[in-house]
Structure 1
């Protein structure tokens, strides 16, 4: 699993070293100046959408939160932050920093970039979903076969990829994406898999904080909103120049 995790980043490093690609293109610098609000937004996106989903799910009695002890959950959340942050440096350097930056250089349309990055990012997860993910954890998230679970997960990541890509492009840095990804891993996965909430049978695909249709549409909307901000920012900069 460790080899699977680090191999894409090692491949990207080799390609950078033996090509004309500059490290500046990857977005290694944090670029805090003028982007602090995007750092804050990257931390708040998953909590805000998750709270919205919990409110909707509770209102329709699709989600039971009786086992949600906020003090215990907060401890679980912070206990996973550091390892998640380190892990996500490997992912975001490759999928946003390297792959996205090189596709942008090809002058592809935004939707082609979303689809390509989201698909490659999702397909890379296939070994995880087909082999590494414990069956019990998978069934809690979405009680289907591994193949169907994998397809749903890839489609989910395509929806998510828009906000990841747009955060990267508007800040020209991988670090807001690392924060976004870290909060996601530490928030929604334990929330569902560790049993802090339970979802009514058959409603997982609708309202799950991980892979529900409503959830994915909300993240899609967030991504498009960041895209609109980036375009306005680009237009203003062009006008000033």
Structure 2
């Protein structure tokens, strides 16, 4: 079966490409930190692979999800834009109430400026990323009729495993410590688990809209808001509370995103049930 074969090819390349990048960086050591040739290969090879598989290996282009499908889906676009900001500020509020974070360096104007300034580059970056993870991998796996939870686990696991070279090599030690005070191996494990939980809400919005664009917007807001909030030092998490309320990988944070995903799944199932009920009279009239 073409789909199964191509998904296997895609997965192998995705899991290898980062290590190819690491090898290239070892051969060419004098490069700008955080902007190396190896990191570039890690970022773009999954997309190039999907283009090749679509153009030359029988996958085609019909299921890429480039149509916005705005009609009837405006609410999902709005939800996609709000998920990360709402949950992030809920975590900040809870942490403020219980003294789990230091807000001495918190500056709304500066954070807003950083957020707005990062939107365009994150929109472009996440168009390419969502074209791969939702527009290709999720789209193809749905054709294999996987159980919902196997779909989440497979997409999230491959998406997370693609990040392993990033977690273990490309990402700076300082950025890791700002997120969680752990070594690289444990950070990679937490990162993969987090992405599996995140995948539920990404998958559900994709399945309801059949479009990558709400996911591009959602991923864009995450990268433009959460990353500067942590990495630029606007907040400082109290020692021992990082695993609980880190805005990107805390247990409470991740469970909230997982809860959103399960809620979206419930709405999709209800929507599909209503669609089935609506179609029954039409089928009866035709018989």
Task: Give TM-score scaled by structure 2 length.
Answer: 0.82
The answer to whether structure 1 residue 163 and structure 2 residue 201 are counterparts is yes
Distance in 2 separating the partners of 1:192 and 1:198: 8
Distance in 2 separating the partners of 1:192 and 1:116: 29
CA deviation profile, 1:148-203 (whole Å, cap 9, x unmatched):
10100110000100000111110000010111101000111110111101101121
Distance in 2 separating the partners of 1:224 and 1:8: 28
Distance in 2 separating the partners of 1:182 and 1:56: 24
Name which of structure 1's ranges 11-20 and 210-219 shifts more when overlaid on structure 2: 11-20
Q: 5+ residue gaps in structure 1?
A: none
CA contact (8 A) 1:207 1:214 kept: yes
List aligned pairs for 1:9-158, cutoff 5 A.
9-158=47-196
The Cα shift of 1:237 comes to: 1.3
Corresponding position of 1:202: 240
Distance in 2 separating the partners of 1:12 and 1:120: 14
Distance in 2 separating the partners of 1:29 and 1:94: 15
> More relative contact order in 1 or in 2 (CA 8 Å, sep 6+)?
1
CA deviation profile, 1:49-83 (whole Å, cap 9, x unmatched):
01111111111111122211100100001111111
Distance in 2 separating the partners of 1:59 and 1:74: 22
Corresponding position of 1:214: 252
CA RMSD of aligned residues (A): 1.0
Corresponding position of 2:11: none
The Cα shift of 1:24 comes to: 2.5
Q: 5+ residue gaps in structure 2?
A: 1-38, 280-287
Count of residues in Structure 1 that have an aligned counterpart in Structure 2: 241
CA deviation profile, 1:65-109 (whole Å, cap 9, x unmatched):
221110010000111111111111111111111111111111110
Match of 2:263 among 208, 225, 233: 225
Distance in 2 separating the partners of 1:230 and 1:22: 27
Large movers: runs of 4+ above 6 Å:
none
Corresponding position of 2:44: 6
